[in-house]
C-alpha cells in the first residue's frame, strides 16, 4: 500500500524543499552552538595568545676541580654582542645602583679637567675642546668599601684578562655640552712612539642614566674602509648610558694590530649629566 502525503523519513521518502531548508538551518545552528561551547572549554589552554617569555632554567652544574688560581664556583654574566666590527659587548646590570652611587660619591671631591695623551706635535693648547669632561683616577686599593675590587674582578672574568693588566679606574663626569671627540684608546706607534705596553680593550661602566645625549659612539662601525666623516659628529653605532650597565670593546685584533673600527667618542650631553667609570686593559701587567 502506498503512503500518500509527505510521509516520514525513510528509504524512498521524498522530502519537500521547505523541509530540507529547515533541516539545514537546524544543523547549522547546532554546529555553531557546539563550536562556541568547545571554544570556551579550550580557550584557557590552546587558544591563549602565545607570548615570548624569558625562561630561567634552573640547571645545577657541578664545578670542575680548579687550579691554584681558579675559582670554586660557576658564574654567569648576561651579555649581548653589539658589534663584530669592532668587537663590542654590552652587559646589562653589571653593577648595582648602590655600587654606582658609591663610586660617584668617592670621586666627586677629586674631579679635575680631563687630559689627553699627546701625539707628536700636539700641545694642550691645540687640543683644547677634544675632551671636555672632568675626572679622576682611582685604584681598587684606594677604595676602602671594596666595591671597585668587586667590579675589577668581574671585569677580569668577562674579558679573561687578569685584573693586574688593568689601569686604575678613570671616573669621568660629563656636564651639559661636554663630549669626547672620536679617538682610539690604543696607541699608534707612528703617532705616539713605541709604547711600553698597549691597550687591548676598554670597559665602560655607566654610573648614571643620561636623559638625552651622552651616547658612546662608534662612527666607523662595520666599515673601516671609508673614514671620510666629521669626527665631531655623533653618528654610527650609539650606546645609550644606563646606570649599572657595562660596555666592553676591543681596540686590537687578535693578532695585536689596531682595529680601525674601534675609533669611538662620547656624544655631547644634551640634558642631565653623565658619570662613567672607564677601565683600560693592557697587554702587560701594570704597576699598582
Is 8 a domain residue?
no
Is 75 a domain residue?
no
The label of the residue with cell 530540507 reads 20
3-state secondary structure of 269: strand
Mean pLDDT of the chain: 85
Q: Is there a contact between 150 and 180 (Cβ–Cβ < 8 Å)? A: no
State yes or no: pLDDT of 219 exceeds 80: yes
- Model confidence band, residue 82 (pLDDT cutoffs 50, 70, 90): very high
pTM of the shown model: 0.78
Q: What is the CA radius of gyration of the chain?
A: 33
Q: Is there a contact between 202 and 185 (Cβ–Cβ < 8 Å)? A: yes
Cα angle 232-281-171, degrees, rounded to a multiple of 5: 60
Cα angle 10-13-15, degrees, rounded to a multiple of 5: 115
Is 236 a domain residue?
yes
Q: What is the pLDDT of residue 103?
A: 98
Is 237 a domain residue?
yes
Is 62 a domain residue?
no
163 to each of 41, 93, 152, 166, how far by Cα in Å? 60, 20, 6, 6
Q: What is the pLDDT of residue 224?
A: 64
Total residues found in the chain within this entry: 288
Q: What is the pLDDT of residue 231?
A: 75
Q: What's the grid cell of residue 32?
A: 555553531
Q: What is the pLDDT of residue 233?
A: 85
Q: Which residues contact 43 (CB under 8 A, 6 or more apart)?
A: none
Question: Residue 226 sits in which domain range?
Answer: 82-282
The angle that helices 147-159 and 97-107 make with each other, rounded to 10 degrees, is 120
The domain tally of the chain equals 1
Q: What is the pLDDT of residue 195?
A: 86
State yes or no: pLDDT of 256 exceeds 90: yes
State yes or no: pLDDT of 54 exceeds 50: no
Is 74 a domain residue?
no
32-36, 194-198, 257-261: least confidently modelled range: 32-36
CATH number of the domain that residue 220 is part of: 2.60.120.620
CA terminus-to-terminus distance, the chain: 119
State yes or no: pLDDT of 44 exceeds 70: no
Sheet holding 216-218, edge to edge: 180-183, 264-266, 216-218, 237-239
223-241 pLDDT tens trace = 865 556 777 889 999 999 9
- Looking at per-residue pLDDT, the higher value among 61 and 127 belongs to 127
Cα angle 252-258-259, degrees, rounded to a multiple of 5: 75
The label of the residue with cell 562556541 reads 36
Is 10 a domain residue?
no
State yes or no: pLDDT of 20 exceeds 60: no
Q: What's the grid cell of residue 173?
A: 663626569
Q: Which residues contact 138 (CB under 8 A, 6 or more apart)?
A: 106, 107, 110, 148, 168, 169, 171
- Model confidence band, residue 121 (pLDDT cutoffs 50, 70, 90): confident
Is 58 a domain residue?
no
Please choose, from the candidates 256, 75, 102, the residue with its C-alpha nearest in 3D space to the C-alpha of residue 171. 102
Alpha helices (H) along the chain: 17-42, 97-107, 147-159, 189-192
Q: What is the pLDDT of residue 200?
A: 97
What is the 8-class DSSP label of residue 86? T
Amino acid at each position: 500500500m502506498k503512503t500518500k502525503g509527505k510521509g516520514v523519513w525513510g528509504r524512498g521518502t521524498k522530502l519537500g524543499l521547505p523541509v530540507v531548508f529547515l533541516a539545514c538551518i537546524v544543523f547549522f545552528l547546532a554546529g555553531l552552538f557546539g563550536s562556541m561551547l568547545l571554544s570556551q572549554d579550550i580557550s584557557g589552554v590552546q587558544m591563549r595568545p602565545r607570548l615570548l617569555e624569558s625562561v630561567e632554567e634552573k640547571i645545577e652544574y657541578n664545578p670542575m676541580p680548579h687550579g691554584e688560581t681558579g675559582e670554586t664556583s660557576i658564574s654567569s654574566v648576561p651579555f649581548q654582542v653589539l658589534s663584530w666590527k669592532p668587537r663590542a659587548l654590552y652587559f646589562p646590570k653589571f653593577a648595582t645602583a648602590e655600587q654606582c652611587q658609591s663610586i660617584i660619591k668617592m670621586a666627586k671631591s677629586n674631579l679635575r679637567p680631563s687630559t689627553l695623551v699627546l701625539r707628536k706635535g700636539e700641545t694642550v693648547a691645540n687640543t683644547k675642546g677634544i675632551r671636555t669632561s672632568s675626572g679622576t683616577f682611582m685604584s681598587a686599593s684606594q677604595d676602602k668599601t671594596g666595591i671597585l675590587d668587586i667590579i675589577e674582578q668581574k671585569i677580569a672574568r668577562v674579558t679573561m684578562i687578569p685584573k693586574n693588566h688593568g689601569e686604575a679606574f678613570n671616573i669621568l663626569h660629563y656636564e651639559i655640552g661636554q663630549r669626547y671627540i672620536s679617538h682610539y684608546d690604543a696607541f699608534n706607534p707612528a703617532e705616539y712612539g713605541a709604547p711600553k705596553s698597549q691597550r687591548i680593550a676598554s670597559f665602560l661602566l655607566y654610573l648614571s642614566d643620561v636623559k638625552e645625549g651622552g651616547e658612546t659612539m662608534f662612527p666607523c662601525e662595520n666599515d673601516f674602509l671609508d673614514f671620510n666623516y666629521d669626527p665631531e659628529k655623533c653618528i654610527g653605532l650609539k650606546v645609550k648610558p644606563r646606570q649599572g650597565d657595562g660596555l666592553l670593546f676591543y681596540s686590537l685584533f687578535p693578532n695585536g694590530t689596531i682595529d680601525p673600527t674601534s675609533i669611538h667618542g662620547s656624544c655631547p650631553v644634551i640634558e642631565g649629566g653623565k658619570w662613567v667609570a672607564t677601565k683600560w686593559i693592557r697587554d702587560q701587567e701594570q704597576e699598582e
